[in-house]
Amino acid sequence: MAFELPFFSSKTPPLIGLDVGSSSIKLVELADAGDGVVRLERYAVEPIPRGAVVDGNIDKIDVVADAVRRAWRRSGTRIKNVAMALPTSAVITKRIALPGNLREEEMEMQVESEANQYIPFALDEVSLDFQVLGPIPNSPEDVEVLIAASRKEKVEDRLAVVQAAGLNPIVVDVESFASRAALERLIGQLPNQGEGLVIAVFYIGANTTGVSVMLDGEAIYEREQPFGGQQLTGDISRAYGIPADEAEQKKRSGDLPANYEDEVLRPFVDSATTEITRALQFFFTSTPYTRVDQIMLAGGSSVLAGLPEALMERAQVPTSVISPFKGMELSPNIRERQLRLDAPALLTPCGLAMRRFDK
Ligand X SMILES: Nc1ncnc2c1ncn2[C@@H]1O[C@H](COP(=O)(O)OP(=O)(O)OP(=O)(O)O)[C@@H](O)[C@H]1O
Query: CB of residue 114 vs ligand X: minimum separation in angstroms?
Result: 30
Binding segment for ligand X (CB under 6 A), chosen from 29-37, 61-69, 157-165, 244-252, is 244-252
Among Mg ion, ligand X, none, residue 301 binds (CB under 5-8 Å by kind): ligand X
List strand residue ranges (DSSP E) for 253-343, in order: 294-298, 319-321, 329-330
What is d(CA 248, CA 133) in angstroms, rounded to the nearest whole number?
A: 42
**H/E element, 110:** helix 104-118
Least separation in angstroms between residue 252's CB and ligand X is: 4
Say how many C-beta atoms besides its own lie within 10 A of residue 42's C-beta.
18
Q: Report what 207 binds from Mg ion, ligand X, none; CB cut-off 5-8 Å by kind.
A: ligand X
Q: Cβ closer to ligand X: 194 or 308? A: 308
Contacts with 96 (C-beta within 8 Å, 6 or more apart), sequence order: 111, 114, 144, 145, 147
Instruction: Pick from 173, 235, 248, 275 the residue near ligand X by CB under 6 A.
Output: 248
Task: Tell whether residue 179 is a contact of ligand X (CB under 6 A).
Answer: no
Within residues 4-33, the interface with ligand X by CB under 6 A covers: 21-24
CB 357 within 8 A of CB 39: no
From Mg ion, ligand X, none, interface partner of 251 (C-beta below 5 to 8 A by class): ligand X
Residue closer to Mg ion by CB (options 21, 194) is 21
By CB under 6 A, is residue 212 in contact with ligand X?
Answer: no
Residues that bind Mg ion (CB under 5 A): 21, 205
Three-state secondary structure along 20-79? ECCCEEEEEEEEEEECCEEEEEEEEEEECCCCCEECCEECCHHHHHHHHHHHHHHHCCCC
CA distance 185 to 326: 9
Residue 29 contacts residue 39 (beta carbons within 8 Å): no
> If residue 336 lies in a helix (H) or strand (E), which one and from where to where?
helix 336-342
- Cβ at position 206, least distance to Mg ion in Å: 7
Buried b (16+ CB within 10 A) or exposed e, 210-228: bbbbbbeeebbbeebeebb
Query: Least distance (Å) from ligand X to the CB of residue 344?
Result: 8
Rounded CA gap, 102 and 112, in Å? 14
Work out whether 301 is an interface residue with ligand X (CB under 6 A).
yes
CA distance 44 to 73: 9
Question: Shortest distance, CB of residue 201 to Mg ion, whole angstroms?
Answer: 13
Closest distance to Mg ion from the beta carbon of 48 (Å): 11
Q: Does 252 bind ligand X (CB under 6 A)?
A: yes
Does 176 bind ligand X (CB under 6 A)? Our answer is no
Q: How far is the CB of 341 from ligand X (least distance, A)?
A: 4
Judged by CB under 6 A, which of 178, 206, 307, 311 binds ligand X? 206
Q: Residue numbers of the site for ligand X (CB under 6 A)? A: 21-24, 205-208, 228-230, 233, 248, 251-252, 299-301, 303-304, 341, 345
